[in-house]
């Protein structure tokens, strides 16, 4: 394997082994504790976006299959899960968490193969956090009356859950763990480009001895998701994905009794004040938008820099960007892996073309990128107007739109001036500035002097077109309960 040359430094390849993973050639649907063939007999391919090689074929569930899964979930709810004591529920959830931990390396490698994200990210962030969501929620299962004192609480029934491709395993954990802890049963659909870790999770759930039908995993495209949303016997829809599909779902559930939480797109702002520790801030900006290829719904995709430190910040950003390694997600040296799919790469390139057509100044790092697979160099968009589509729309790639500001009021106004409101970051030395900004920024999460920090105990969710409802923490449990 060729060595990577970064500004005079040689990095020998450090690939993670794939010999310890166990992938089937073909995956069926996990319904009622069994692997069931799709009634259409149709399968679709899931590939490795880093080299376009086939990983596995996966069943495409249609309305009939979804109906089977919902019926299994309803039966399991009525006959078993709603009668299982909370402390017994907790034991199953703990067992799933422990089994995931035992196989964490396998999960991490499969996640990187299927999603294109770096092994550093999947090994150190996605998989441990996914396990922690099961641990955290297991802890609440038999303490819900203390979590919501003086309230009469009841589970909802069958939860339909639809997740995207950016954090495939973590999103599955995010959705399944609180649903089980609160006594609901589940039909979950992973994204079509990243179904493999959810299917691996189905194997683990099976090994845990969870009663059949309590968790069902159905794979497919948007039509499969729509069949879940429109099924009349589903009590709750939990969706994470694009704002466009979120709107379709909201229309579909209007007038029904389905409880809904939507976690949608974002165009989150990072703000660097003139007194900020600049090196730390630059590292945080890089982490916020470039690691994980910008495939984070709360990615810090807009940057506001106070005018007096603008030149310094841009110089430091360019310097740091040029040391980032873009390439094989399984190499432990890689900072930026593969874009999740050809479609997504086309979307990102489409936005870069819009930038060129608008005549904005762009800067791309000069690193090598592999010949095969889907890759995008980290890109800065400089001095761009507030009205530009690159500032207003979610790109979901390693593209950072940068603007300047002079006063705090100006930056609050600019930062809030998008249809979204998922997250924000503030970089300053002064506590008073932090409190002033965090209370005025219309975003579900505001980080101060850090970015993209997650914890199962803290709620996550958006304002405006970034959705509604919270996941994580007690707020996350509330979304799966009837409260009286």
Output the residue with the shortest Cβ distance to ligand ADP: 225
- Report, in Å, the least distance between residue 194 CB and ligand ADP: 9
Residues 326, 425: contact at Cβ < 8 Å? no
Task: Figure out which of the listed residues 141, 156, 229, 415 binds ligand ADP, where binding follows CB under 6 A.
Answer: 229
Residues 397, 294: contact at Cβ < 8 Å? yes
- With respect to ligand ADP, which residue has the nearer C-beta, 252 or 448? 252
Three-state DSSP at 377 gives coil
CA-based nearest residue to 379, from 349, 406, 409: 349
- Report, in Å, the least distance between residue 223 CB and ligand ADP: 7
- With respect to ligand ADP, which residue has the nearer C-beta, 183 or 294? 294
C-alpha 214/C-alpha 186 separation (Å) is 6
- Report, in Å, the least distance between residue 389 CB and ligand ADP: 17
- Report, in Å, the least distance between residue 307 CB and ligand ADP: 35
**How many residues interact with ligand ADP (rule CB under 6 A)?**
17
Judged by CB under 6 A, the stretch of 128-136, 171-179, 242-250, 455-463 that binds ligand ADP is 242-250
- Report, in Å, the least distance between residue 332 CB and ligand ADP: 27
- With respect to ligand ADP, which residue has the nearer C-beta, 81 or 396? 396
Three-state DSSP at 121 gives helix
* Helical spans, DSSP H, in 237-309: 243-253, 278-289
| Per-residue x/- track, 247-266, ligand ADP (CB under 6 A) | -xx-----------------
Site residues for ligand ADP, 3-22, by CB under 6 A, read: none
C-alpha 256/C-alpha 114 separation (Å) is 36
- Which residues carry out catalysis? 263, 297
Task: Figure out which of the listed residues 38, 168, 183, 241 binds ligand ADP, where binding follows CB under 6 A.
Answer: 241
- With respect to ligand ADP, which residue has the nearer C-beta, 164 or 178? 164
Three-state DSSP at 204 gives helix
- With respect to ligand ADP, which residue has the nearer C-beta, 344 or 379? 344
Q: Which long-range CB contacts under 8 A does 349-355 form with residues at least 24 apart? A: 349/376, 351/389, 351/390, 351/393, 351/395, 351/397, 351/399, 352/379, 352/399, 354/389, 354/390, 355/381, 355/384, 355/388, 355/390
Task: Figure out which of the listed residues 226, 272, 380, 411 binds ligand ADP, where binding follows CB under 6 A.
Answer: 226
Q: What is the CA radius of gyration of the chain?
A: 22
- With respect to ligand ADP, which residue has the nearer C-beta, 165 or 427? 165
- State the pairing for strand pair 481-483/153-155: antiparallel
Three-state DSSP at 206 gives helix
- State the pairing for strand pair 423-427/445-448: parallel
- Report, in Å, the least distance between residue 220 CB and ligand ADP: 7
- How is residue 418 written in tokens? 């998008």
Task: Figure out which of the listed residues 104, 242, 322, 333 binds ligand ADP, where binding follows CB under 6 A.
Answer: 242
- With respect to ligand ADP, which residue has the nearer C-beta, 97 or 191? 191
- State the pairing for strand pair 269-272/423-427: parallel
Sign of the Cα torsion 395, 398, 401, 404 reads positive
Residue 222 sits in the site that holds ligand ADP (CB under 6 A):
yes
- With respect to ligand ADP, which residue has the nearer C-beta, 21 or 248? 248
C-alpha 477/C-alpha 82 separation (Å) is 16
Residues 135, 94: contact at Cβ < 8 Å? yes
- Report, in Å, the least distance between residue 221 CB and ligand ADP: 5
- Report, in Å, the least distance between residue 257 CB and ligand ADP: 18
Site residues for ligand ADP, 152-211, by CB under 6 A, read: 162-165, 189, 191-192
- With respect to ligand ADP, which residue has the nearer C-beta, 189 or 259? 189
Q: Work out the number of other CB atoms within 10 angstroms of the CB of residue 388.
A: 16
Judged by CB under 6 A, the stretch of 221-229, 302-310, 432-440, 471-479 that binds ligand ADP is 221-229
CA-based nearest residue to 202, from 79, 381, 47, 58: 58
Task: Figure out which of the listed residues 35, 135, 221, 463 binds ligand ADP, where binding follows CB under 6 A.
Answer: 221
| Per-residue x/- track, 111-150, ligand ADP (CB under 6 A) | ----------------------------------------
C-alpha 272/C-alpha 426 separation (Å) is 6
Judged by CB under 6 A, the stretch of 90-98, 217-225, 268-276, 312-320 that binds ligand ADP is 217-225
Residues forming the site for ligand ADP (CB under 6 A): 162-165, 189, 191-192, 221-222, 225-226, 229, 241-242, 245, 248-249
């Amino acid at each position: 394997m060729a060595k990577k040359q970064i500004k005079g430094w040689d990095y020998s390849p450090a690939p993670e082994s794939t010999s310890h993973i166990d992938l089937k050639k073909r995956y069926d649907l996990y319904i009622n504790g069994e692997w069931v063939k799709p009634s259409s007999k149709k399968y679709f391919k899931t590939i490795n976006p880093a080299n376009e090689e086939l990983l596995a074929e996966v069943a495409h569930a249609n309305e009939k299959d979804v109906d089977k899964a919902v019926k299994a979930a309803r039966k399991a709810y009525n006959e078993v899960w709603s009668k299982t004591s909370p402390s017994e529920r907790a034991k199953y959830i703990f067992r799933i968490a422990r089994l995931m931990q035992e196989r964490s390396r396998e999960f991490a490698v499969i996640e990187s193969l299927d999603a294109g994200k770096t092994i550093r990210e999947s090994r150190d962030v996605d998989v441990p956090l996914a396990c922690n969501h099961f641990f955290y929620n297991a802890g609440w299962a038999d303490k819900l009356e203390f979590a919501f004192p003086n309230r009469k609480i009841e589970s909802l029934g069958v939860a339909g859950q639809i997740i995207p491709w950016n954090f495939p395993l973590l999103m599955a954990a995010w959705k399944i763990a609180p649903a089980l802890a609160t006594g609901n049963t589940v039909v979950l659909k992973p994204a079509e480009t990243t179904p493999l870790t959810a299917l691996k999770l189905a194997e683990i759930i099976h090994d845990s001895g969870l009663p059949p039908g309590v968790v069902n995993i159905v794979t497919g495209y948007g039509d499969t998701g729509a069949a879940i949303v429109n099924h009349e016997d589903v009590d709750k829809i939990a969706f994470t994905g694009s704002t466009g599909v979120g709107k379709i779902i909201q229309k579909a559930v209007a007038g029904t009794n389905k409880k809904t939480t939507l976690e949608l797109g974002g165009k989150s702002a990072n703000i660097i004040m003139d007194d900020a520790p600049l090196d730390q801030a630059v590292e945080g900006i890089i982490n916020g938008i470039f690691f994980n290829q910008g495939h984070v719904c709360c990615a810090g995709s807009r940057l506001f820099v106070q005018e007096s430190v603008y030149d310094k910040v841009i110089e430091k950003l360019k310097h740091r960007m040029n040391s980032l390694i873009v390439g094989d997600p399984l190499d432990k040296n890689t900072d930026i892996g593969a874009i999740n799919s050809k479609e997504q790469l086309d979307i990102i390139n489409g936005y870069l073309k819009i930038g060129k057509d608008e005549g904005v100044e762009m800067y791309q790092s000069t690193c090598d990128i592999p010949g095969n697979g889907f890759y995008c160099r980290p890109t800065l968009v400089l001095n761009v107007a507030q009205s530009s589509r690159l500032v207003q729309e979610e790109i979901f790639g390693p593209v950072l739109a940068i603007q300047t500001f002079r006063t705090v009021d100006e930056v609050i106004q600019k930062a809030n001036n998008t249809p979204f409101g998922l997250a924000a970051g503030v970089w300053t030395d002064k506590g008073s500035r932090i409190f002033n900004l965090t209370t005025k920024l219309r975003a579900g999460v505001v980080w101060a002097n850090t970015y993209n920090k997650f914890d199962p105990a803290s709620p996550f969710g958006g304002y405006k077109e970034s959705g509604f409802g919270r996941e994580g923490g007690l707020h996350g449990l509330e979304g799966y309960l009837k409260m009286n």
